[in-house]
A and B are shown apart, each in its own frame.
Chain A
Amino acid sequence: MKTAKQLSVFLENKPGHAYNICKTLGDAGINIFTLSLADTNQFGLLRLIVENPETAGELLKKSGVIVNITELLAVKIDNRPGVLAKIYELLSSLDINLEYAYAFAMRRIFLLRVSDNEKAFQILSENDFTLLSHEELFSDEN
């Protein structure tokens, strides 16, 4: 099974917090491939895809923020109508929950956080979707 590694960072409801995180990574020469931000009035979750999640995670931990690493599925998608619907259909046919999803649009990669990675990986592969490993995300071929 191939998965992509995501860094999740806890964001306090405080001005400048997201800036500090991005700055820490930028200063260390770590490129943010894509990100998603979920927030409420009280706190936020910043989800990041970077090339070296372990290094970046350690760096952020040292700066005092809460970080964890989660495995996502990275699916290559064609630019045509109905592709996302097909993915959702396949997942729901096996009662797999989609917790959240976001895209890296330039490379047409869809990142999925699901309740069961193995099952989801299997059914998507069987249905001719291409799933990428973390390393493949950063390869120019994709």
Chain B
Amino acid sequence: MKLENKIWDKAECLSRDEIENIQVQKLRATVKQVMSVPFYAQKFKEIGIGPEDIKSVADVRHLPFTTKTDMRNNYPLGLMAVPKEKVLRFHGSSGTTGKPTFVAYTKNDLEMWSDMVARFLYAGGARPGNTAQISFGYGLFTGGFGLHYGLEKIGSSIIPAASGNTRRQFTLLQDLKPELLVCTPTYALRLIEYMEEEKIPRESLNLKVAFLGSEPWTEDMRLYIEDKLQVNTCNNYGLSEVIGPGISGECVYHTGMHIQEDYFLVECLDPETLEPVPDGQLGELVITALNKEAMPMIRYRTRDLAYLISDTDCPCGRTTKRMSRIKGRSDDMLIIRGVNVFPSQVEEALLQCKDVTPNFLIVLDRPGSLDRSVVKVEMAPAFFSDKMSEMQMLKNRLEETIRSYTGIHFEVDLVQPQSIERFTGKAARVIDNRPKEK
């Protein structure tokens, strides 16, 4: 196949000078644009910086950071740079206080998002005429819609299967014979498990490529999924605070995820000193959106740890900087079955329940293919009952409360008072036994 057939957009193949030239111009325009948002205007004024101070890409370092806390403090729409009438779509992501944080998209934002997703899908082998099964949740979560738009843009037909109901997923996979599958890596594992349980022959499927994302996964998982499903897998990255999936994605060569550099300026910083780390060294990704209208984002601290790759060329011909898989977090956020969860949410939930002490321990496992999440909670002696029905009700009530705070089901394991270890410093609230990459 010739090079021009494999690249969706020539913006993916620019020289370093050309890319940086585009980035600096867009960054300057973005700084000018966000002056209309009081949150940014005030911060910029304090530092004494304006659009005229942006002369090179490195000048981004003079700009202040934006954090999840800033988004919460400006809840619901304080970071918006356009009037609400210009917004075509809202999405949201889970927050630590039980309320989501909202993000907004104009018509142009949705157009850009579609384009970004189309680029990585095309790089991974999606083509017009293919059929794609999207087994991501649709809704406030950006995954389903983001991938949907990208596939539509390419001209692949879409089966919006959404998540869950594994039996029906296989009916669709077997009867509509999609070549492409979109889901989380752990859901791919679940599909494999189901396929083996039900003895579904691989020949009854027509899958060629699986686009996996929205949670961290490992090279071991890749080998396993590729072997069992007999597909090529492509990783992709994004976060709803910045836009959603598509900030970067792998091509067929698996050399790292190509960053859409004309749309995003990605820095990799030491999370302690906040100074840049050299390419190849692990740091926190800090992302500035260069093209967004409804909700621009300046130096968003993603808390995702990865490294940038620039020392080798990718055989696909794209010249964009690449990034590694997500290797961890610089805060204590957990990703459980694709949902972001903070231990502090569990703590808040337990503080609402008088029947237990707020001492808890989260234990995560992956016994089969899906994450199992357990919270060990210390009983308060005053609420102990000799009746099993009351104890069961207590457990159910705790599980419901935790679900309302975190959005996911935790199994509650009641334990004795004083049996969870006390720490003098920062409490170790999590034991994560899920497989991870060294």
A interface list, Cβ under 8 A from B: 6, 8, 10, 12-14, 38, 40, 42-43, 45, 47, 64-68, 70, 99-100, 113
The residues of B that contact A43 with a CB separation of less than 8 Å are: 391, 395, 413-414
Residues of A within 8 A of B386 (CB): 6, 8, 45, 47, 68, 70, 113
- Tell me whether chain A's interface is mostly helix, strand or loop, or mixed: strand
Q: How far is the CA of A64 from the CA of B415 in the complex (A)?
A: 11
B414 touches A10 (CB 8 A): yes
Most buried by A among B387, B392, B412, B419: B387
Given the interface contacts A8-B386, A38-B388, does A66 sit within 8 Å of B381 by beta carbon?
Answer: yes
**Residues of the A chain whose Cβ atoms lie less than 8 Å from the Cβ of B419:** 12, 64
Would B389 and A66 count as touching, CB distance under 8 A?
no
Q: What's the least CB distance linking A44 to chain B, in Å? A: 9
Q: Which residues of B sit under 8 angstroms from A47, Cβ to Cβ?
A: 386
Q: A-B pairs with the 4 shortest C-beta distances?
A: A8-B386, A66-B384, A70-B386, A66-B381
How many residues of B sit at the interface, in one of the four size bands?
Answer: 20 to 34
Q: Please report the C-alpha to C-alpha distance between residue A40 and residue B412 in the assembled complex, in whole angstroms.
A: 12
Decide if B285 is an interface residue (CB 8 Å cutoff).
Answer: no
A65 to B411, CA, bound (A): 22
Contact with A along B159-171 (1 / 0, CB 8 A): 0000000000000
Are B391 and A45 closer than 8 Å at their CB atoms? yes
A49 CB to closest chain B CB (Å) equals: 12
> Is B418 located at the chain interface by the 8 A CB criterion?
yes
Minimal Cβ-Cβ distance residue in B for A7: B386
In the complex, 27 of the A-B residue pairs with CB atoms within 8 angstroms, ordered by the A residue number, are A6-B386, A8-B384, A8-B385, A12-B414, A12-B415, A12-B416, A13-B413, A14-B415, A38-B388, A42-B395, A42-B414, A43-B391, A43-B414, A45-B386, A47-B386, A64-B418, A65-B416, A66-B384, A66-B417, A68-B381, A68-B384, A68-B385, A99-B387, A99-B389, A100-B387, A113-B386, A113-B387
Residue numbers in A under 8 Å from B295 (CB-CB): none
B379 at the interface (CB under 8 A from A): yes
Complex contacts, B387 vs chain A, CB 8 Å: 99-100, 113
Interface positions, chain B 139-186, Cβ under 8 Å from A, are none
How far in angstroms is the closest Cβ of chain A from B76?
Answer: 39
Interchain nearest-CB distance for B398 vs A (Å): 11
Chain A CB within 10 Å, residue with most, of B385, B412, B418: B385
Tell me the complex Cα distance, A66–B355, Å: 13
